[in-house]
Amino acid sequence: MLNHAAHAYYVLDAPVMEDPVYDRLYRELVELETADPGLISPDSPTRRVGGAPADGFTSVAHRIPLLSLDNAFSHAELDDWYGRLLKVLDREPAPGEPLPALPMVGELKIDGSALALSYEDGLLVRAATRGDGERGEEITSNVRTIQSVPLRLHLERPPAWVEVRGEAFIPEAAFAAINAERSERGEAPFANPRNACAGTLRQLDPKVVASRRLSFFAYTLHLPDDWQAGPQDPPAPRSQWQALGWLKAAGFHVNPHCALCPDLAAVEAFCDRWEEERRSLAYATDGVVVKLDDLRLQADAGFTQKAPRWAIALKYAAEEAPSRLLRLTCQVGRTGVVTPVAEFEPVPLAGTTVSRATLHNADRLAELDLCAGDTVVVRKAGEIIPEVVRVLRELRPAGARRLELPPTCPECGSPLVREEGEAATRCVNNGCPAILRRSLLHWVSKGALDVDGLGIKLIEQLVDRGLVASIADLYRLDAALLASLERMGETSARKLVAALSASKGQPWHRQLYGLGIHHVGEVNAKALARTFPSAAELAAAAAEAPERLLAVFGIGAEIAQSLQQWFATPANQRLLEQLRQLGFSLAAGTDPGEGLAEEAAAGPAPLTGLTFVLTGTLPSLSRSQAQALIEAAGGKVSGSVSRRTSYVVAGAEAGSKLTKAQTLGVSVLDEAGLRTLLESGSG
């Protein structure tokens, strides 16, 4: 009864009992469960607020990757996305013909924090943050406090597992009340509802989370292929529109302001409507998410490395505000790039106060024609990153001096260099303190070696005092020396030394990313590490066989050239040797998937140009091991079957992907067939 009442109140906005009645029944339930703990069920309303604060959060792997969306900022960019979608689906019109109409769903883009909810046999068993899309932080106790998240699905015959994705958020009224309470207590108010939501979800005490009154909208559903609905249950959806209906029937709060649009024109009208009407909503939105409605066509469209091809977020134009320029400063990055930064009088913008914005490079500085004392128009690109849009020249002071990049590095005084054809201006002094500081900060960052306790302030002390001159020097620090630094005690120093020592065991792809090679990000580092399972092999390929670099999916000429330059630099060669002497393997470890990748990478790439889809359970390979094996041999692994699929590798309990492959006439392999293909190189 209490769960029904809570659902009616928080999800349906249709209360079925008065608040005092609910409170009295809730107290009675607490008394009964206290007297007899055996009465406590997993979906009891009393389970929504946890007990003692947790010690921390555990990193967990998402069953299904929680990807971000590509963004569009205009109708023209939305049209371009639709054109790419038609192309990948082989539905491009002939010259002169109108665009085919594909039904799409428009949903408001809620400005909050993405969550992944996992249910087993109808019960909520895990909730996690987005994290990096593959892994997130497990915050189940906190999410249980969100009343619009059902603890048990409202289904007669729930599936063995269900993955639900959605957005947690703080409504505007609750946000205002929270900030008022914080001000009364003398605490700093939150900058905006999004930041307040993200910070709330990472509170260690669920009772604090419950007090913040978060809400949740569900928008994506993943079900087992073989689920059979009960007589009173909604059937497995075949479209995004049906999926929203399924989520609503299962007990979730689904945003009511969504629409099934028959064509692109209807989508654009929906976007235009909500650009104006969103200001009347009780929660923050920053755009519209457009999704292809047909789930089968979504599978055909597939994914890029970072985002689904069948969905896009149209972000609304950012709020703009004028401000007076105070000064031009410069930042030196870890690759030596000198970035001009405009500092201006603080101005409120899209929920926060901003006072500085990057100007990117010398070309952008010249394009703006920026002068000292100018009045500039500032906005947030994507409502996140402040940027200077234009200069109000009519307000320029008489005789104002034009601003340019300095001729020398603001950190070390070395002459700055801008090579022909490049937009960036660089300091090329490898001993520049700014380059060193940023390189160290990158090395210890979460995506790289993930060394807890080593932030920018401590790095600045180490560099400024001459205690650290390279990444390798970090591992020569001892606890006694660290404890003598500002804001460092003996306990913190011992923990930092232990964290540095533990970081030597990070996998090879993290070590590669941490080296900070120009253009080599996390995704490219993983791809390179799968193909070249050691620094020695990658260096050899860069020096002797650059064509092998170009054969790696996602690696182009610019990245290959950057790798060649980095490994050919004597200082970098010395760094690698020092790291080896300090105990870094700079190679793949003993994980079975890594071993398979090494085995495949040792020979030619027999699967180059082939696309595979994995389904079911293989006899001796996990899904990740099979993927590593295929990618190391030059192949690509896709999550969906289409006419472009070369092979489907099917194991036990293969589902709809196998059926679709048979329908399309795609070749099907078992694990033995995959190994044979790898060994023979025939395609």
Q: How far apart are the first and last CA of the chain?
A: 61
SS3 category, 637 = strand
Per the CB < 8 A criterion, the answer to whether 513 and 502 are in contact is no
Per the CB < 8 A criterion, the answer to whether 269 and 49 are in contact is no
Q: Of 87, 109, 315, 457, which is the active-site residue? A: 109
Bridge pairing between strands 161-169 and 113-120: antiparallel
Bridge pairing between strands 416-417 and 426-427: antiparallel
SS3 category, 265 = helix
Q: What is the dihedral of CA 613, 619, 620, 621, to 10 degrees?
A: 20
The residue with tokens 């400024």 is 464
Bridge partners, 117 (sequence order)? 127, 164
For the record, the structure tokens of 604 come out as: 């030619």
SS3 category, 571 = helix
SS3 annotation, 52-65:
CCCCCCEEEECCCC
Q: How far apart are CA 403 and CA 93, in angstroms?
A: 50
Per the CB < 8 A criterion, the answer to whether 286 and 109 are in contact is yes
Per the CB < 8 A criterion, the answer to whether 531 and 539 are in contact is no
For residue 109, indicate whether it is catalytic: yes
- Could you tell me how far CA 449 lies from the centroid of its own chain? 18
- Could you tell me how far CA 231 lies from the centroid of its own chain? 39
Bridge pairing between strands 338-349 and 416-417: unpaired
Q: What is the dihedral of CA 504, 508, 509, 510, to 10 degrees?
A: 0
Beta-carbon contacts of 223 under 8 Å, excluding residues fewer than 6 positions away, are 159, 162, 236, 237
Per the CB < 8 A criterion, the answer to whether 619 and 626 are in contact is no
Strand segments, DSSP code E, in 555-666 are: 611-615, 636-638, 647-650
Question: Which of 177, 299, 328, 198 is CA-nearest to residue 240?
Answer: 299
Which residues are identified as catalytic?
109
